[in-house]
Amino acid sequence: MPYRAPIDSRPPNGHIMNRKVCALCAQRFLGRGDAYSAPFYCSSACKTEARRQRRAEERDPNKPIRCEACGERFTPQRSTARFCSARCRVAAHRELSPLVTRFRCA
């Protein structure tokens, strides 16, 4: 029969092991640190899935944003959109381009 360390005991590396519950799947597991710190996950797969779900909640495709060039509110077609139109995108690039060119040539 293999040796099982008692719960809340100190393993050889000195970390305190506590009973924890996975924040995603509610599975019980042993984890390091105190029971009151940030959410813990039973596996890297649960941690990755929780991060994916959080980011999906933050990124609402129907949420209007402000154009960085003209300040008009618009609903983006992509999650990475920064400008309301090609005209604003080109205008913003032209404003920035003399600065970029000046620093590159110096």
Do 70 and 88 form a contact (C-beta atoms < 8 A)? Answer: yes
In angstroms, what is the C-alpha Rg of the chain?
25
User: Tens of pLDDT along 68-87?
Assistant: 999 999 998 887 899 999 99
Confidence class for position 40, pLDDT limits 50, 70, 90: confident
- Residue 35 pLDDT exceeds 70: no
Neighbours of 58 (CB within 10 A): 9
> Residue 55 has what pLDDT?
82
Mean pLDDT of 18-37: 76
Report which of 27, 36, 39, 32 is spatially closest to residue 8, judged by C-alpha positions.
32
